[in-house]
């Protein structure tokens, strides 16, 4: 779920620590020299030399050594692309992750007095700047580049999963890589079912708009109109369905100590409401964007109340069956399932891939955690574009930006992005041992679906690589 996608995103945002490539000249200031020294230590990838650097130059960071070493292994290091601001004690620069091509803005500050130790280093992921835009490729060039990227990443154990690219609804690349079960040496295939994390939010949003299209709910109504006994009266009276769909309701997350303490006891959406329903809004509803898994739990509860069905029955009958999705669901993890991959994680400081079984919820929810295949995700994308799930008006309402969110644009349970000049909408998902992404790009008529049974950004780095290079027509 973004959930644990949050584990990656928070790691990425709080410490996307930084590289400075030789081809870009760093200023010979205390801050510039520390950036160069940090890069050399970090990119070398040697734990003990990196520890020595931190102890001498950034002592407050030593406690995060394991996190940083794991992050170095995941990113492959960083390259400096541009110095945006420089003073003796402060450096602001653009940097790029070597493995995923993700750009970020680094702000590094040092003490004014010698030895100019680093006092703070923050990095925020940003969209790829226009002056670093990647060239659009023709389809033949694209497929050649993608195949090489996937083969290289699979060989380096950076990707295990399945990839499906279609043009005008027809597959132009469909391939699986790596192992679905490392213990039993079972390979991933196009039929393998991967856990999809927050990608469930697309199904929840479609369900909500189906009910709105049918006149059974109003997007501007407060939550309490439908959940009449909701415990916190401020949430019930102030937070609207629109705000839940756009993460602007201030309803907060579900992950943290309470979730860990009750992970396997949370079996229904009402169990989550009982655990979190007394919380007040974290900010004035509608005033800003803050990703909320709990908000989508509440949408699932509304769907149940309005439809008279369980969330799982409603989604199966009104989305999976009409779209022809036969391998998608959110069945409990303790129920045996065929073709379901094992998720593998290194989160938590492990140097080896380990099954993610002790991090999984009892079952997926309206916020995330179900499973699907790349073939089913394509069926969903096709059904959406062919208006089998919603009429044209509500399809556009569903997928068109409502709020700006840290460089991305969020619609209703879908991100609405412009990627290297091409508009794509869809949603990703990530947690320990799982990562996925679906991008629907109507202009050039491509759909990209990538699923992985590894930590983020295993799937999103491949999806981004593809969409950044799509043909313009």
Domain boundaries, the chain: 13-132, 161-467
pTM attached to this predicted model: 0.88
Sites in the chain below the pLDDT cut of 50? 1-22
pLDDT of residue 406: 63
What pLDDT score does 153 carry?
96
pLDDT tens readout for residues 163-208: 999 999 999 999 999 999 999 999 999 999 999 999 999 999 999 9
What is the per-residue pLDDT for 9?
38
Q: What separation, in Å, do the N-terminal and C-terminal C-alpha atoms of the chain show? A: 33
Domain 161-467: homologous superfamily in CATH: DD-peptidase/beta-lactamase superfamily (3.40.710.10)
Q: What is the per-residue pLDDT for 77? A: 87
Tell me, what's the pLDDT at 72?
86
Give the pLDDT score at 6: 42
Q: Which CATH architecture has domain 13-132?
A: Roll (3.10)
13-132 matches 161-467 in fold: no
């Amino acid at each position: 779920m973004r959930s644990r996608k949050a584990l990656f995103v928070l790691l990425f945002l709080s410490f996307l620590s930084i590289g400075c490539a030789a081809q870009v000249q760093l200023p010979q200031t205390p801050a510039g020299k520390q950036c160069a020294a940090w890069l050399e230590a970090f990119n070398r990838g040697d734990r003990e030399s990196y520890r020595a650097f931190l102890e001498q130059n950034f002592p407050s960071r030593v406690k995060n050594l394991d996190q940083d070493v794991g992050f170095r292994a995941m990113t492959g290091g960083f390259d400096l692309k541009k110095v945006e601001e420089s003073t003796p004690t402060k450096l602001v620069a653009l940097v790029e992750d070597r493995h995923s091509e993700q750009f970020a803005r680094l702000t590094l500050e040092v003490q004014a007095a010698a030895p100019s130790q680093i006092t703070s280093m923050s990095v925020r992921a940003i969209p790829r700047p226009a002056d670093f835009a990647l060239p659009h490729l023709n389809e033949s060039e694209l497929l050649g580049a993608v195949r090489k990227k996937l083969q290289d990443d699979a060989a380096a154990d950076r990707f295990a999963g399945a990839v499906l690219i279609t043009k005008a609804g027809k597959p132009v690349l469909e391939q699986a890589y790596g192992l679905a079960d490392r213990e039993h040496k079972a390979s991933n295939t196009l039929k393998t079912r991967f856990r999809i994390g927050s990608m469930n939010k697309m199904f929840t949003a479609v369900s909500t708009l189906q009910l709105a299209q049918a006149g059974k709910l109003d997007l501007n109504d407060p939550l309490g109109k439908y959940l009449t006994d909701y415990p916190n009266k401020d949430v019930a009276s102030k937070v609207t369905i629109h705000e839940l769909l756009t993460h602007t309701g201030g309803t907060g997350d579900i992950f943290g100590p309470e979730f860990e303490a009750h992970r396997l006891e949370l079996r229904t959406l009402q169990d989550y409401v009982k655990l979190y329903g007394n919380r007040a809004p974290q900010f004035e509803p509608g005033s800003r964007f803050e990703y909320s898994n709990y908000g989508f739990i509440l949408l699932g509860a509304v769907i149940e109340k309005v439809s008279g069905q369980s969330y799982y029955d409603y989604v199966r009958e009104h989305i999976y069956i009409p779209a022809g999705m036969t391998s998608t669901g959110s069945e409990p993890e303790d129920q045996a399932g065929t073709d379901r991959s094992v998720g593998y994680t290194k989160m938590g400081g492990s140097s080896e891939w380990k099954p993610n079984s002790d991090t999984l919820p009892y079952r997926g929810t309206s916020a995330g955690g179900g499973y699907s295949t790349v073939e089913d995700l394509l069926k969903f994308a096709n059904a959406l574009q062919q208006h089998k799930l919603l009429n044209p008006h509500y399809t556009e309402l569903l997928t068109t930006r409502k709020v700006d969110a840290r460089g991305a644009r969020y619609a209703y349970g879908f991100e609405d992005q412009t990627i290297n000049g091409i508009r794509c909408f869809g949603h990703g998902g990530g947690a320990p041992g799982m990562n996925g992404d679906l991008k629907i790009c109507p202009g050039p008529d491509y759909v990209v679906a990538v699923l992985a049974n590894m930590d983020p950004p295993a799937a999103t780095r491949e999806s981004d690589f593809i969409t950044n290079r799509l043909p313009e027509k």
